[in-house]
Amino acid sequence: MADAHGPHRVRLPARSSLYRLVKALADPAEPPGSAARTATAAGRAGGPPAALRPAERVHVATARLGTGAVGEDGAGEKVATTAALDQASGCVLAAVLRPEQGGPVKLSVLLAEMAVPGPLRPGWPALLEQAHAGRPGRRLMSLPDRIEATAAQPAAVPETLVLDHGTVGITSTFLTVCESLGISLEPAPPRMADARRGALRALQVLAGLFSRHAVAARPPATAAGENQAVEADGAYWSMPQLQDLLDEWVLAVWHHRPQEQLQHPLLPRAGLAPQEMWELLLGAAGRMPLPLAGQHYGELLPGRRCTVAESGIRLGGRRCDDACLDEHRGREGRFEVHHHPHDPRQVFVRLPDGQLHAVPWAQGEHAWRPFGELLRRAAPPPGGDRAGPVPGSAQAQEAAARGGTGGGAVPGTAGGGTVAVEPDGFGVYDAAAEAGQW
């Protein structure tokens, strides 16, 4: 400035202001007044990319539930949920419950849940009826209403999956599936909190609200002989019952609950519900993300090789059997079997015709009935004692002597119902007293 206009002819700013001006001109992306950035640091991004279409960017996150579940061994265990949330609409495309200490959910399971609608899955109506009849407590929706709501539930193949570190398990087979379907995988940046803060915060709110609903949905009176030790730990529902309760709650409550962060430019002060936002964005985007067909559900699930014995297929301590296995029983060789790691109700086996056939759990119809649930709750706690007198003991014989043939009662009966006690100490099932508890 002195060489061009002469000394002291142009008034210069202060030295600190001059340095800030030079810095802003040198790097427009760096706001004036912020801390200096080292030359080796990567350039800052302007936050996570915006999602303007349904299923354009889907975040996968995990949160812990405030309620426990009764495990397969009868003991209480802590539960976590891994969900896939659509960034644009806030809809829950898939939510899978798992034991907190059981390892991450496989990403192929989440993709099968979000990409294949429930009504298209093999055997889904029968499985829904079993789950609807085998869960005690208050229902949010009737069976016809739930079938209708599930048919309208958002389902699509995502364009980009944003994964948190350690949230899900990725296999080479899943990478091949993503490449064939055109799905991009994007890890959440470790130092950019905004990239995953919205999905994680929304999932934490969902987990908190659902935990309170799970506690409130318990039957008011406990059944006879329930495991009091497990009840003290806060675990009442079994894992399949809790998963069915979560699916129903998402359909009836979460997708119709207005959220402040879901706003339309023409309605800036009105918080929209996720279902409303999904339908609104579908009309604005002009394109519909199509889901997969029903036969792809079994293809996406994890697979392994199993033999077909005379009694059927044994997997995870359960026996699955169906008439389609009759001509293949006892044959040498292993068959390709796909199964849901957190849903034991059925498996999918690939037979020589090249198709996957659904094979249900052999004891599924009995296990999901209310009487089967009563027997499970009447079992003694693991490593503990029975709440009532053991058949054949002196206490049981004394109770039978006092009550005679029909004067005694099984301890723990709710509602004042009487259950006859035989002289040998075994209680007789009273259907009328049990019906008053449902």
How many of the other CB atoms lie within 10 Å of CB of 383?
Answer: 8
Q: In the predicted model, is pLDDT for residue 30 greater than 70? A: no
Yes or no: say if 82 and 95 are a contact pair by the CB < 8 Å rule.
Answer: yes
How many of the other CB atoms lie within 10 Å of CB of 6?
Answer: 9
What is the model's pLDDT at position 373? 59
- In this structure, what token pair is assigned to residue 120? 């298209």
What is the model's pLDDT at position 400? 42
Q: In the predicted model, is pLDDT for residue 203 greater than 50? A: yes
Q: Are strands 76-77 and 105-106 parallel, antiparallel or unpaired?
A: unpaired
Integer Cα distance of 374 and 427 in angstroms: 14
- In this structure, what token pair is assigned to residue 243? 């998963």
Query: Using CB atoms within 10 A of its CB, is residue 206 exposed (0-12), middle (13-18) or buried (19+)?
Result: buried
Sheet of strand 343-350, all strands in order from the earlier edge strand to the far edge: 303-306, 335-340, 343-350, 356-360
Yes or no: say if 225 and 387 are a contact pair by the CB < 8 Å rule.
Answer: yes
Integer Cα distance of 119 and 128 in angstroms: 10
What is the model's pLDDT at position 39? 45
Q: Higher model confidence: residue 260 or residue 425?
A: 260
Mean pLDDT of 92-100: 91
What is the model's pLDDT at position 282? 86
Q: Whole-structure pTM over 0.85, yes or no?
A: no
What is the model's pLDDT at position 418? 41
What is the model's pLDDT at position 401? 44
226 to 63, 133, 403: CA distances (angstroms): 29, 20, 23
Using 50, 70 and 90 to split pLDDT, how confident is the model at 436?
confident
To which H or E segment does residue 247 belong? helix 239-252
pLDDT-above-70 percentage for the chain: 73
Q: Model confidence over 239-258: pLDDT tens digits?
A: 888 999 999 999 999 999 99
Of 126, 95, 110, the C-alpha closest to 250 is: 95
Q: In the predicted model, is pLDDT for residue 215 greater than 80? A: yes
What is the model's pLDDT at position 27? 60
Q: Are strands 235-238 and 68-70 parallel, antiparallel or unpaired?
A: parallel
What is the model's pLDDT at position 174? 86
Q: Model confidence over 129-159: pLDDT tens digits?
A: 888 877 776 788 888 899 999 988 999 999 9
Least confident among 3-7, 51-55, 222-226: 222-226
Yes or no: say if 85 and 59 are a contact pair by the CB < 8 Å rule.
Answer: yes
Yes or no: say if 63 and 204 are a contact pair by the CB < 8 Å rule.
Answer: yes
Of 61, 56, 89, the C-alpha closest to 159 is: 56
| Side chain identity at residue 173, one-letter code | T
Mean pLDDT of 161-186: 83
**Phi, psi of 63, deg, nearest 5:** -140, 150
What is the model's pLDDT at position 435? 78
Highest mean pLDDT among 45-54, 196-205, 273-282, 368-377: 273-282
**For 5-55, what is the HEC assignment?**
HCCCCCCCCCHHHHHHHHHHHHCCCCCCCCCCCCCCCCCCCCCCCCCCCCC
Integer Cα distance of 316 and 302 in angstroms: 14
Cα R_g (the chain), whole angstroms:
29
Q: Higher model confidence: residue 411 or residue 80?
A: 80
Q: Higher model confidence: residue 151 or residue 421?
A: 151
Coil/strand/helix, residue 218: coil
Yes or no: say if 312 and 303 are a contact pair by the CB < 8 Å rule.
Answer: no
Yes or no: say if 78 and 101 are a contact pair by the CB < 8 Å rule.
Answer: yes
The partner residues of 313 in beta bridges, in order of sequence, read 320
Of 340, 281, 345, the C-alpha closest to 318 is: 345
To which H or E segment does residue 200 belong? helix 194-216
Mean pLDDT of 285-306: 86
Q: In the predicted model, is pLDDT for residue 191 greater than 80? A: no
Using 50, 70 and 90 to split pLDDT, how confident is the model at 419?
very low
Q: In the predicted model, is pLDDT for residue 338 greater than 90? A: yes
Q: What is the mean pLDDT of the chain?
A: 77
Q: In the predicted model, is pLDDT for residue 97 greater than 60? A: yes
Q: Model confidence over 41-62: pLDDT tens digits?
A: 444 555 567 788 898 999 998 8
The DSSP secondary structure of 328-346, one letter per residue, reads GTT-SS-EEEEEETTEEEE
Q: Higher model confidence: residue 267 or residue 398?
A: 267
Of 256, 227, 185, the C-alpha closest to 377 is: 227
What is the model's pLDDT at position 375? 60
To which H or E segment does residue 95 belong? strand 92-99
